[in-house]
Structure 1
Amino acid sequence: MPLKPPLLADRFLKFFCAPHLLEEVQGDLHEEFEYQVKHVGVRRARWRYWLDVLGFFQPRYIKRKPSQYPQTYLFSLNMLRNYFKIALRSLQRNKVYTSINLLGLSLGMTCGLLIFLLVKYHLSFDNFHAHSDRIYRIVTEQHRDNISYVSAVPSPLGKVFRNDYTFAEKVGRICTFEDMLISIKAEKGLNKFKEPQGVAFTEPEYFAIFNFPLSVGSFQNALNEPNTGIITERIARKYFGNTNPINQIFRLDNKLDIRVTGVLKDLPTNSDQKAEIFVSYPTLKSYNDWLGSDDAWGGIQSSMKCFVRLRPGVSPSEVEKVFPAYVKRYRPTSKNVHHYKLQPLNDVHFNAQYGGAMNKQTLWILSLIGLFLIITACVNFINLATAQALNRSKEVGVRKVLGSLRGQLFWQFIAQTGLIAAIAGGIALGLAALALPYVNQWFATEISLNLLTDWRLVAFIPALILIVTFFAGSYPGLILAGFQPILALKGKLSQQNIGGFNTRRALIVVQFSISQVLIIGMIVIARQIYYAQKADLGFNKDAIMLLPIASTPQQAKTVKAQLQSLAGVEQVSLCYSAPASNGHWQTAPHYDNHSEEESFRVSVRAADNDYLATFDLQLAAGRNIYPSDTVKEFLVNETFAKKLNVASPSDLLGKNLRVNGNMTGPIVGVVKDFHDHSFHEDINAVCIPSASDFYNNYAVKISTANVPATMAAVEKTWSKMHPDQLYEYTFLDEHIASFYETEALMLKLIQLFSLIAVFIGCLGLYGLISFMAAQKTKEIGIRKVLGSSLAQILWIFGKEFARLIVVAFLVAAPIAWWFMNQWLQDFKFHITIQPWIFFVTIAITLLVATLTVIYEATKAALVNPVKSLKSE
């Protein structure tokens, strides 16, 4: 039984080949296939059959002598060269058409390329570690009245798990403190550095789990002794210049002297490990006695992380079964029920519940936007190409009469599209290189455009060009190749022969639907951010500076008094944190001398008696706390009362409260609820004791009359009292705005992408209106002769596009409403999507479309009718 040619190739041939030639061509190709099977083998015969089909080579033109096979491929190259030569000439003749398509495709492909680089960058995080599929972080689910998720664990857990079980090859703890002060002795005093990424107290096993190699030193000796540490090469250059850093000393937070025992190679940018100073774990006991203790099971601090690398064959579920035993053994009376889980390393960067840096949902949204922009550009190309098809009808007719096959005409148009896409790809690459610094700045990334080493990028660019070529060129190519030669040569082709108006109407609807979805999304995100920034938070956030307390409680009182005496300073408070803060200090309260703790957690905002006045917090019942350095009285908020299900806030007054084990006192006042975190979260139960040992900040409310002079005076006073510290401050409103950095970034991007989508749509409208004006030259002339006004002629053009934009809006509105409603569910406090948002969207789209259409339509309408009719 003879072998058959590839079935897919045969179907391809049947689709493209002219019907009257199909039987002859197919017979010749099959005969040639049988010959090739006998002489060069089945596999090579199949490849050559595909080449014959794709090039539509007539077998009768091919010599069957093996020595002449290269002529077959020479013929193929000549054909391709001919395709591109014709394509180039056609593009040169239609400069406006070419320019519009180039600009549209370039912008769409630039956005697609940038989004690809961004998505690829985030997907690469921490994938370079050996055995990364077996690396996990132990995390905690805290079950009380609700479930909260913490990326940390009690500090002793890692040690006991390492000693009790053999599930893991390595267990490593790391405790990171951000914004640490580093001091180094120099010839002229002290060099002081503030490290925003902080310092990590680290066990040596951590570096056995992760692939962060040393350039100098050995892990066996680097982190075993107290008061030793290793630093990265970048930090070594920053602190010690060209001096050998080994055995150099730096002072940590004005508390501990650390000796350098090793130097790490610089950390990769695509790693969630950001701290570049690693101090031996035994030193933690000296820095923070509670965290360094082997008995610190009573709570969790977010700085404490524990990583494990499981043995081959050990499943995470197997390990998680042993964790409940630790809860029963070390936390038997706590109602804050801990559930310890294993989080895969590849989930750490993306899981927002555990503080992931980039939500996968955001990457999906960006990917979809990039895809939509490329589709918009391709739709624009298809629309213009089909509109221009009539102008090429005689060319197609002549080629068909001279024997060109449908497939050859199709590939000729694909070659033309490929040439445009390739040029657009080159332009997109240049635009992406120019835009990349801004992308890195917006996203705090270090993405590079490296065509020499990044094989994914090298593969993506030609893949993108090919996809755009076939997506944008296939339909117009089929339309052109399908022209009947007789009708084409007689000039009797109608709009129906090039796909009809309905096809182009559908394409315009798709294009503007995408634009309107982006515009609605932009307005909703902007409104939500504005709402979060301008809504009543329950306290005053304006003109309040937050300065760090870097002294003893008694010295802090002295600094407070000096700050209060400054002109322009209205109020000063010593506090743990501002009313709204990312800093979490939550604990289980004991209310009214109950022996058992309550089933909810309370957020502790330790502060002095000036806290209410500084932040304009209002009392719902009772009075303010009296001045005190120790815990004697408490303020609580209304949510605290709701959690206890008391009838009235005043019912709490005089009741005893105990938090954090040893903070005890009566409740003397109830503060009206205020937002203690971002609008993503519900309002928590809050208590405010006076506890000077826990004050971290000076909250300084200043007058807006002479802000620069007041700030200078504040800096001078603070620096005088803290000569060994670096002066830093933040304004509370800026701190609160940082809660919504991701949303603000999304707003910037969607504004940019909306602008690009609308611009691409306008390019298409401009091209189509130019084509319509050329097609309706005679009609416009007749109408003007018969007395039509300028407005009536403009309406000929405007009514068509106005209807299509309205239809696009009817498609876009429900899609955008659903997507943005889902996005808003991430906020506990959010806006409602109002009808005016949709009216504004369609008004913007109609206005932009009108401005695009009006110039070319007016120019066509003002042409002298005598010239119009004569030209026909």
Structure 2
Amino acid sequence: MRGNYLKFSFRSLAKHRMHAGINLVGLAIGMAGAIVIFQLVKYHLSVDRYHRNADRTYRVVVDLHLADGSVEQERGSAYVLHETLKKDFTYVENAAYVAHKEMTIRVDHRGASRKFLEKDHAVFTNADYFQIFDYKWITGNSSVLNAPGQAVVTERYARKYFGSDDALGKVIRVNNRENVVIAGIVADYPEQTDFKQDIFVSLPTLKKIIPEYGYEDWGWIDSGRETFITLHAAADKAAFESQMPAFADKYYGRDGKVFHYHLQELADVHFNIAYGGKIKFNTILVLGTVGVLLVLIACFNFINLSTAQAFKRSREVGVRKVLGISQVQVFWLFLQETILLTVLAGAVSVLISWLFAPLLGTWLGLSVAVNPFMDWQLFAFLALLLVFVVLMAGVYPAFVVSSFNPVKAIKGLLKENNRSFFSVRKSLVVTQFSISFVLIAVSTLIILQSEYLKNKDLGMDKDLVLHLNLPETETAKLAALRNELAALPEVTDLSFFRSAPSVQVSGGGTIKFENRDWEKFVARSRAADDHFVKTYGLKLVAGRAPMHSDTLNELLINHKLVKALGLKSPEDALNRRLHVGDAGKTGTIVGVLSDFNNGDLYTGIEPTIVFADQKRYRSGGVKLSRLNAQTINRIAAAWQKQFPENVFEYSFYDEEIAKFYQREELATRLTTTFALLSVCLSCLGLFGLAIFAIEQRTKEIGVRKVLGASVAGITAMLSMDFLKLVLVAIVMASPVAWYLMDKWLQDFAYRIDIHWGIFALAAFLAAGIALLTVGFQSVKAALTDPVKSLRSE
């Protein structure tokens, strides 16, 4: 019996191959989208969850509650914090300080000397780091990091530095200051981690390389210096945090009320954007929702086409019932057909997602693999997905078919109620296009917002500016480098500074203006020389640029600070004295700058001070008049002449700014991709329904043509029924699209308006694509010879 049922299913699919093919492709595309989204969601939810103590591991973060009522969230911490927490609290089992620091590594091996600039993969840390985070030790152990001059590297960095030779015991030189011994090797970290460090230099070595660092200063907080702890039990968290106010009062005195320490769970580190997370958790929820919607659209297509096809097969069902097959047997017969088609679609979906995953991985900068036979979680998801699709797409059509009255079915008296506007089928079509319209509208907004961010006037010139790293700030070397570069014909100006305009600044503090008390707000500090204004095309609205100095003497403020100080005009600030808290010095205001952004456009413009402080300079900005093949080589030669022991590296300023908005680029790619998928699926279903509707009205079309109806008139008549459904979907979905767009834009200090044109464009695209899909079949039907149409009936 089962063999006969299976044989029937294959014959039925082959006989109705057009509709079977549409269903197969639709289900395969929908499931492929769901599989890829599942892999993305699974990756992000698994980041750093593999650590043995993940449930009781935390990053110690601090919220700075300022006198003006604002709150600054800071993931960094003072050096002294990790030692003090372990000493003061019995709750704390391990405490690790992680100082992210750019390092120049020199390796002398086999008679050759090589240098490497490690920007993102090197840290200073202590032994507790390896008690908190899980690494497999190849040789050595974590205790080596308690002594100066020691380091641990991953296997891939051991190969990078020493090839196939054993790296243990080998010496590397860090920042041309200290020789460090490789005292341990650990296995490479897995893909699912945000802690992608490969070289760990012992924390005591940091004091030798950077002796001027504020090791005992509780106020020396830097985002690149983090503290991680494990508690003896996760339940200790509440008790620990309840003691933090008293802890802050103890070490900060009267400023204790400003520093609100709390623990950030390790699981939150990846998702919390305020503390430097990689992706919002809401984005994961949205991705998961989109995956479900893609599958639902594919299922709706299946239901629509299957129920439409059922009325063509009513005589077949009637005959089977008359011959003794029960309603339950008919139900399982047609459900088996759905199961067979779903399994085939599942196999195709795995192939599609396997082909598409590498491209998506390249877009996202991570490995997205699809192999259900090597990934039990994906295999389980695929199995559940197949069951879901069968139940969602197969049960209702099978029930409809099995409930046919056999007498009416054989006589051909079963007719579908095509006049019911709000039938199940039409409701599903409206739902499909509502989803597609929302995705198209949101995608359009994200694209427009991304373009707005890229092209917004930031208050300075970002074109043809080359950035160089500065390993040292010795006056003679900087002066010599300036002279060398200024002599190049392509160089129009050069500035040395801590960070460029519109590159996020975390430094700053309170200020005192003239004889007033400390201001209640925080002003951002930018250490930069007297060429800063000209190099970046900043606009002076009053006064002049400062004279050359190696330390704070004259300073510039921005227009935002003028307003914050309550001054009537920029001119009122000139020649007034301002004490800069984080620099501990007082200078004279000689100029007021037009406002420019201190960071990305998620945040607004802040009060800002620009002053000279050569010890803080870390970069150089070279303004070019033109760029050719030899320009970089000449700049590199001049730089290498002054810093022969270091690695030359450069970047272009406009590219650095573009990196701020990688999240928007990612959102654009993802929403556009899945919006296109949803439109394709919806139109695929519409295409199948159009074929069925036209087949049902073949005689009517022939009669109308005989009576003189034009091709355009028949096409319009056939298309309008479907176009009405799409227009209803657009009207219903517009409020939802507006709500989602408004929520997304709230993250930006600078954003575009939600203009009616976005909805008009999305509606035009949705309706236009639907009209083309249906119109093609309508024109084909309208051009058919009416004699053939009437004869076929």
* 1:172 equivalent in structure 2: 96
Q: Map Cα deviations across residues 303-359 of structure 1 (whole Å, 9 max, x no partner).
A: 222222212374212111222233223322548811110111111111111111221
Match for 1:609 among 509, 517, 530?
530
Amino acid at match of 2:593: V
Q: Determine whether 1:140 maps to 2:62.
A: yes
Q: Is contact 2:175–2:209 with CA below 8 Å preserved after alignment?
A: no
Q: Is contact 1:386–1:499 with CA below 8 Å preserved after alignment?
A: no
Q: Determine whether 1:763 maps to 2:684.
A: yes
Distance of 1:415 and 1:196 partners within structure 2: 58
Q: Is contact 1:383–1:504 with CA below 8 Å preserved after alignment?
A: yes
Amino acid at match of 1:835: W
Match for 1:672 among 594, 619, 622?
594
* 1:751 equivalent in structure 2: 672
Q: Map Cα deviations across residues 435-463 of structure 1 (whole Å, 9 max, x no partner).
A: 22122222222333343443211110111
Gaps of at least 5 residues in structure 1 are 1-77
Q: Is contact 2:245–2:256 with CA below 8 Å preserved after alignment?
A: no
Amino acid at match of 2:240: V
* 2:509 equivalent in structure 1: 587
Q: Is contact 1:553–1:693 with CA below 8 Å preserved after alignment?
A: no
Which secondary structure state, in structure 2, belongs to the residue aligned with residue 315 of structure 1? helix
Q: Is contact 2:245–2:257 with CA below 8 Å preserved after alignment?
A: no
Match for 2:139 among 209, 216, 238?
216
* 2:785 equivalent in structure 1: 864
Q: Is contact 1:176–1:275 with CA below 8 Å preserved after alignment?
A: no
Distance of 2:552 and 2:22 partners within structure 1: 72
* 1:191 equivalent in structure 2: 114
Distance 1:556 1:539, change over 3 A: same
Distance of 1:578 and 1:871 partners within structure 2: 76
* 1:795 equivalent in structure 2: 716
* 1:319 equivalent in structure 2: 240
Distance of 1:257 and 1:270 partners within structure 2: 32
Of stretches 561-570 and 751-760 in structure 1, the one that deviates more from structure 2 is: 561-570
Q: Is contact 1:335–1:598 with CA below 8 Å preserved after alignment?
A: no
Q: Map Cα deviations across residues 589-613 of structure 1 (whole Å, 9 max, x no partner).
A: 233255x543222221111111111
* 1:464 equivalent in structure 2: 385
* 1:157 equivalent in structure 2: 81
* 1:647 equivalent in structure 2: 568
Distance 1:497 1:703, change over 3 A: closer
* 2:298 equivalent in structure 1: 377
Distance of 1:864 and 1:435 partners within structure 2: 43
How far is the alpha carbon of 1:289 from its aligned partner? 2.6
How far is the alpha carbon of 1:188 from its aligned partner? 5.3
Amino acid at match of 2:435: I
How far is the alpha carbon of 1:197 from its aligned partner? 2.1
Which secondary structure state, in structure 2, belongs to the residue aligned with residue 197 of structure 1? coil
Q: Is contact 2:308–2:692 with CA below 8 Å preserved after alignment?
A: yes
Of stretches 630-639 and 206-215 in structure 1, the one that deviates more from structure 2 is: 206-215
Of stretches 805-814 and 202-211 in structure 1, the one that deviates more from structure 2 is: 202-211
Amino acid at match of 2:181: R
Root-mean-square deviation (CA, aligned residues, Å) is 1.9
Distance 1:773 1:497, change over 3 A: closer
Q: Determine whether 1:94 maps to 2:16.
A: yes
* 2:653 equivalent in structure 1: 732
Of stretches 510-519 and 622-631 in structure 1, the one that deviates more from structure 2 is: 622-631
Which secondary structure state, in structure 2, belongs to the residue aligned with residue 331 of structure 1? helix
* 1:807 equivalent in structure 2: 728
Q: Is contact 1:513–1:808 with CA below 8 Å preserved after alignment?
A: yes
Q: Map Cα deviations across residues 610-659 of structure 1 (whole Å, 9 max, x no partner).
A: 11111111112222111112211110111112222222222222222222
* 2:183 equivalent in structure 1: 261
Which secondary structure state, in structure 2, belongs to the residue aligned with residue 536 of structure 1? coil
Q: Is contact 1:282–1:292 with CA below 8 Å preserved after alignment?
A: no
Of stretches 256-265 and 129-138 in structure 1, the one that deviates more from structure 2 is: 129-138
Q: Determine whether 1:565 maps to 2:470.
A: no
Amino acid at match of 1:94: H
* 1:181 equivalent in structure 2: 104
How far is the alpha carbon of 1:405 from its aligned partner? 2.3
Question: Which residues in structure 2 correspond to 1:151-550 (within 5 Å)?
Answer: 151-177=75-101, 179-187=102-110, 189-220=112-143, 222-291=144-213, 293=215, 295-312=216-233, 314-334=235-255, 337-496=258-417, 502-550=423-471
Distance 1:586 1:689, change over 3 A: same
Q: Percent identity?
A: 38
How far is the alpha carbon of 1:476 from its aligned partner? 1.2
* 1:830 equivalent in structure 2: 751
Of stretches 678-687 and 320-329 in structure 1, the one that deviates more from structure 2 is: 320-329
Q: Map Cα deviations across residues 119-150 of structure 1 (whole Å, 9 max, x no partner).
A: 11111122222232222211111111311111
Which secondary structure state, in structure 2, belongs to the residue aligned with residue 496 of structure 1? coil
Question: Which residues in structure 2 correspond to 1:64-79 (within 5 Å)?
Answer: 78-79=1-2
Amino acid at match of 1:731: F
* 2:497 equivalent in structure 1: 575
Which secondary structure state, in structure 2, belongs to the residue aligned with residue 245 of structure 1? coil
Distance of 2:255 and 2:637 partners within structure 1: 47
Distance of 2:761 and 2:238 partners within structure 1: 52
How far is the alpha carbon of 1:563 from its aligned partner? 1.6
How far is the alpha carbon of 1:300 from its aligned partner? 0.2
Distance 1:266 1:388, change over 3 A: same
Distance of 1:94 and 1:591 partners within structure 2: 83
Distance of 2:738 and 2:193 partners within structure 1: 36
Q: Is contact 2:86–2:93 with CA below 8 Å preserved after alignment?
A: no
How far is the alpha carbon of 1:199 from its aligned partner? 1.7
Of stretches 563-572 and 525-534 in structure 1, the one that deviates more from structure 2 is: 563-572
Q: Map Cα deviations across residues 262-314 of structure 1 (whole Å, 9 max, x no partner).
A: 11111122122111111111111112235472x12122011222222212374
* 1:699 equivalent in structure 2: 621
Which secondary structure state, in structure 2, belongs to the residue aligned with residue 556 of structure 1? helix
Q: Map Cα deviations across residues 798-856 of structure 1 (whole Å, 9 max, x no partner).
A: 11112111101001111111001000001111111100111111111222122222222
Larger relative contact order (C-alpha < 8 A, sep ≥ 6)?
A: 2
Distance of 2:572 and 2:748 partners within structure 1: 32
Distance of 2:53 and 2:673 partners within structure 1: 40
Amino acid at match of 1:870: R
Amino acid at match of 2:504: N
Which secondary structure state, in structure 2, belongs to the residue aligned with residue 681 of structure 1? coil
* 2:44 equivalent in structure 1: 122
Q: Is contact 1:382–1:472 with CA below 8 Å preserved after alignment?
A: yes
- Equivalent pairs, count: 789
How far is the alpha carbon of 1:517 from its aligned partner? 0.6
Which secondary structure state, in structure 2, belongs to the residue aligned with residue 605 of structure 1? strand
Distance of 2:270 and 2:234 partners within structure 1: 25
Distance of 1:847 and 1:450 partners within structure 2: 38
Of stretches 787-796 and 756-765 in structure 1, the one that deviates more from structure 2 is: 756-765
Distance 1:111 1:514, change over 3 A: same
Match for 1:619 among 532, 540, 551?
540
Distance 1:498 1:242, change over 3 A: farther
* 1:25 equivalent in structure 2: none
Amino acid at match of 1:183: R
Which secondary structure state, in structure 2, belongs to the residue aligned with residue 598 of structure 1? coil
Which secondary structure state, in structure 1, belongs to the residue aligned with residue 179 of structure 2? strand
Instruction: Output the TM-score relative to the length of structure 2.
Output: 0.96
Q: Map Cα deviations across residues 491-542 of structure 1 (whole Å, 9 max, x no partner).
A: 1111139998722211111111111111101110011111111121111111
Of stretches 844-853 and 416-425 in structure 1, the one that deviates more from structure 2 is: 844-853
Q: Map Cα deviations across residues 732-776 of structure 1 (whole Å, 9 max, x no partner).
A: 111111111011111011111111111112211211111122111
